[in-house]
Amino acid sequence: MIMKHYPVLLNEIIEKLEIKNNGIYVDLTLGRAGHSSNILKKIKTGWLYSFDKDSEAIKKSDNLLKQISNNFTLIHSDFKNFKQKLEELKINKVDGILMDLGVSSPQLDEAERGFSYNKDARLDMRMDTNQKLDAHFIINNYDESELIKIFKNNADVMLPERVAKGIIENRPINNTLELVEIIKNSLPAKIVRMKNPAKAVFQAIRIAVNNEFESLKIALNDSLNLLNSNGKLAIITFHSIEDRIVKNFFGNLIKNKTDHRLPIMEKKDWKVKIILPSKEEIEKNKRSRSAKLRILTKLS
């Protein structure tokens, strides 16, 4: 069953971006254009630039957005390249940037994409299907220490050493459900009963396949100089590790640069707001449960 795609924290995003008729906005995670379509509705003479690594997302969203307006450009690229891509289009300043770091519903629901631990398919997990590295290669070729590093750095994988050892001992592994069984058999029954341990392992592998954390860090740094005064950088995170990256990056921007004990009024260049999904949204869309929206505003 294909679940309906709900853009997470949509109303909050549209409100907090304070979209101007003539503004320039960038959606770095187009997906199925849930956020992009609603941003575009608010733009009259401005422009929307939307990025995605997934060519299917670009194709499907193009048709949807054309029904609203022609004031947009879709760019098939990893968002770590967005500054360079915008410069090529002579765009040096923007009024708002959005990143929704969740995996889109279609990617999870389309079994053949190999993202889901609930559907059987060849191990894949590539957001950009043109790239060579996929989950199948990582699972069948990385050594034990490399797998353990991925599990520790990318997700809260329980007993990562046991999981890595189980994978090494059961190669070759071709399909998603085959991997799920190996993960479960590698761990004590008590842990398996608590929650499906495959969720964290699949998350860790997906992040490694798509180099997600490195792309996030590059995009965060490149966003700052692109924002106009009162420009917004809005980021939706879904798990603790990626949220920590964003939280620490924003925190370093807003922390005091002078000793707080000194009688000096320090001029702030940035401010941050954090928003969680409402109870109503969580009831409508369970995938929003772990979402957290952080909005950075450029004051100077």
User: Nearest 5 degrees, angle CA 228-CA 231-CA 234?
Assistant: 140
> Band of the pLDDT at 287, cuts 50, 70, 90?
confident
Does residue 137 or residue 300 have the better pLDDT? Answer: 137
Name the phi and psi angles at 273, rounded to 5. -130, 140
> Band of the pLDDT at 5, cuts 50, 70, 90?
low
Q: pTM for the complete prediction? A: 0.92
Question: Torsion angle of alpha carbons 100, 212, 171, 188, nearest 10°?
Answer: -60
Same CATH topology for 10-106+212-298 and 108-210: the answer is no
pLDDT at 262: 67
> Band of the pLDDT at 2, cuts 50, 70, 90?
very low
- Over range 144-159, report the average pLDDT: 97
Q: How far apart are CA 170 and CA 165, in angstroms?
A: 9
Please give the CATH architecture assigned to the domain spanning 108-210.
Answer: Orthogonal Bundle (1.10)
- Answer yes or no: CATH 3.40.50.150 is held by domain 10-106+212-298: yes
Residues above pLDDT 90, as percent of the chain: 88
CA-nearest of 96, 72, 85, 46 to 233 is 96
Residue ranges at the known binding site for S-adenosyl-L-methionine: 33-35, 52, 79, 100, 107
Let me know: does 121 contact 108? Beta carbons within 8 Å: no
Judged against a pLDDT cut of 70, whether residue 3 lies above it is answered with no
> What are the tens digits of pLDDT across the range 25-72?
999 999 999 999 999 999 999 999 999 999 999 999 999 999 999 999
Residue ranges at the known binding site: 33-35, 52, 79, 100, 107
pLDDT at 115: 93
Judged against a pLDDT cut of 50, whether residue 1 lies above it is answered with no
Name the phi and psi angles at 293, rounded to 5. -100, 125
> Band of the pLDDT at 241, cuts 50, 70, 90?
very high
Residue spans of the domains in the chain: they are 10-106+212-298, 108-210
DSSP string across the chain: -PPPP--TTHHHHHHHHT--TT-EEEES--TTSHHHHHHHHH-SSSEEEEEES-HHHHHHHHHHHHTT-S-EEEEES-GGGHHHHHHHTT---EEEEEEE-SPPHHHHH-GGG---SSS--BS---SSTTSS--HHHHHHHS-HHHHHHHHHHHS--SSHHHHHHHHHHT----BHHHHHHHHHHHS-HHHHHHS-THHHHHHHHHHHHHTHHHHHHHHHHHHHTTEEEEEEEEEEE-SHHHHHHHHHHHHHHHS-SS-TTSS--PPPSEEEEEE---HHHHHH-GGGTT-EEEEEEE--
Judged against a pLDDT cut of 50, whether residue 224 lies above it is answered with yes
> Which tokens belong to 140?
């069948």
Let me know: does 224 contact 254? Beta carbons within 8 Å: no
Does residue 258 or residue 167 have the better pLDDT? Answer: 167
> What are the tens digits of pLDDT across the range 202-219?
999 999 999 999 999 999
Question: Torsion angle of alpha carbons 151, 155, 158, 161, nearest 10°?
Answer: 10
Judged against a pLDDT cut of 70, whether residue 269 lies above it is answered with yes
